[in-house]
Structure 1
Amino acid sequence: MSKRRERDRRRLTVVEGVREISHALAAGLVPSEVYICPEYCDEEGEQLIMKLETFAADQTAIFAVTPAVFAKIAYRGESGGLLMTIPYIALPLAQLALSANPFLVIVEGVEKPGNLGAILRTADAVGVDGVIICAGGTDLHNPNVIRASLGALFTVPIAEADTGEMIQWLHDQGIQIVAADPMATSYHMDAVLSGPVAVVLGSEAAGLTPQWLQAADISVKIPMFGVVDSLNLSVATAVMLYEVVRQRLNRTKL
């Protein structure tokens, strides 16, 4: 389960560590399997084991394993002696529940698990209706994404779809597509973002593909005045999403 191929084959996400498992349980997720290595558990871990043993016991298989076995299935070492699996959580587009004024973030070809996890944290903070991932990139179910998201992977609705399907779905829903493009002529704070909106960002290395740039209702850039020519993707996402929040808050004051 430490390898993506095995996770994809079984359609299971690995959640390891006391903090991460606690977040998943708090979000109402039911584990498929739980693996416990008593030799690695501290007092906090033992308390969580007691909870796991009574939590959805009829739906969850619990295994006690040796340190040698745990080392083979864990992704990051000892992990507090606790690891569980949950079914893949990404939704099809049709199952995303949209609010009356939809607010989405779309990321294309994210390269680093840490970036995707940080984007999910920001998405949770601003209250998006969903995060949509397209064009592959890093594995959504990589344990490092879970760790970097601080549990937001379990609280933010997430969908995966190909670009063409996504663009058509956004048009059908009447949602404005706003592309982040460093070559744009308009700044992000000059665009009207208070209505139904999907903010779309590409990878740090390549940016958005032409398919997204052509489909966008508007392309915007973030002002930059230094020597470097790009921001970290998670930082750029936060700047864009909080501009949407700012405009929506201002509109409610009118």
Structure 2
Amino acid sequence: MTDLVITSPANQRLKDLIALRRRRVRESAGASLLEGLEETTLALDAGVVPFSLLHCPELMLHPEVGAALVERARDLGAEIVQLGRTAFEKVAYREGPDGILAKVPSPGRALDEIALPDGALVLLCEGVEKPGNLGAMLRTADAAGVALVISADPVTDWGNPNVIRSSKGTVFSVPVAAAGTAEAFTWLADRGVEVVATTPDTDVEHTEADLTGAVAVAVGSEKYGLTAAALARAGRRVRIPMVGRANSLNVATSAAIVVYEAVRQRRSG
């Protein structure tokens, strides 16, 4: 079968892809946009099967690698579409596109579909607003071997193109789920996972707490931190010591510090 070729930026198929930048459309279609050679390769390595893969040979920085990825997607059954440069730049959502874009199933599963390993390390993000922070936390989770990242009372969805982009595609390699805060806490408690809340309102430093065993590190929104309801239900509270005048650690950095303390303790043990 001959691949579809699109050169006009006004093509309706491209308009349909651009519409996936809106959350309502993503949720209705069950699909998201994934851009970039590295990110798409990681997603395929994680078992993602694209609905379609769009490529622009003119924009590929590494044509042989890009062509191999196209063939790999074709073998998985993805529709292959070649775009002209103007058409590709129309649908691409980042500056300096590298000629690879895929329409993929939206990431994320229901909590009840997830089985945690014994002694799981979980990251719970309540009300985090900025896609870039969610993406950065996913990269930390991927590097640290976190078993699950839960977005509690999510402001944005896992399929947001900016979450996918800032995660470098790790949103497809790390198990992720979204749920209400109460549902997330109940689900974790039922599985014997203790929630450790990060907050400045405690005297216990994160290095003093036992973070081995089944633990969920909980972080809150950029402006307000964890809600009172989340703090009340957490088993323990820890703080990251800071000596500056400003509360200068953002949520992604705070999550990384506490998660890697948990990793350190587990490796030491």
Superposition TM-score, scaled by structure 1 size: 0.90
Asked whether the 8 Å contact 1:179–1:201 carries over to 2, the reply is yes
What do the CA deviations read for 1:126-174 (whole angstroms, capped 9, x no partner)? 2111111111223322233223223322211111111111111111111
Find the aligned partners of 1:138 and 1:89 in 2 and give their Cα distance.
13
Q: 2:214 matched to 1:199? A: no
Counterparts in 2 of 1:67 and 1:8: CA distance versus 1, 3 Å: farther
In the TM superposition, what are the counterparts of 1:51-70 in structure 2 within 5 Å?
51-57=69-75, 59-70=77-88
Gaps of 5+ in 1: none
In the TM superposition, what are the counterparts of 1:169-188 in structure 2 within 5 Å?
169-188=187-206
In the TM superposition, what are the counterparts of 1:1-254 in structure 2 within 5 Å?
1-2=17-18, 3-5=21-23, 6-42=25-61, 44-57=62-75, 59-77=77-95, 79-251=97-269
Q: What RMSD over aligned residues (CA atoms) do the two structures have, in Å?
A: 1.9
Counterparts in 2 of 1:78 and 1:122: CA distance versus 1, 3 Å: closer
What do the CA deviations read for 1:42-68 (whole angstroms, capped 9, x no partner)? 4x1453234323434462111122334
Asked whether the 8 Å contact 1:201–1:207 carries over to 2, the reply is yes
Count of residue pairs the alignment pairs up: 250
Letter in 2 for 1:181: T
Asked whether the 8 Å contact 2:198–2:238 carries over to 1, the reply is yes
Asked whether the 8 Å contact 1:18–1:45 carries over to 2, the reply is no
Asked whether the 8 Å contact 2:51–2:102 carries over to 1, the reply is yes
2:8 corresponding residue in structure 1: none
Asked whether the 8 Å contact 2:107–2:158 carries over to 1, the reply is no
Superposition TM-score, scaled by structure 2 size: 0.85
SS at match of 2:237: strand
What do the CA deviations read for 1:212-231 (whole angstroms, capped 9, x no partner)? 01101111111111111241
Q: CA deviation at 1:201?
A: 0.3
Q: CA deviation at 1:20?
A: 1.5
Q: CA deviation at 1:90?
A: 0.2
Find the aligned partners of 1:183 and 1:20 in 2 and give their Cα distance.
38
Counterparts in 2 of 1:194 and 1:21: CA distance versus 1, 3 Å: same
Counterparts in 2 of 1:72 and 1:10: CA distance versus 1, 3 Å: farther
What do the CA deviations read for 1:223-245 (whole angstroms, capped 9, x no partner)? 11111124111110111111111
Bigger drift between 145-154 and 156-165 goes to 145-154
Find the aligned partners of 1:137 and 1:31 in 2 and give their Cα distance.
26
SS at match of 1:159: strand
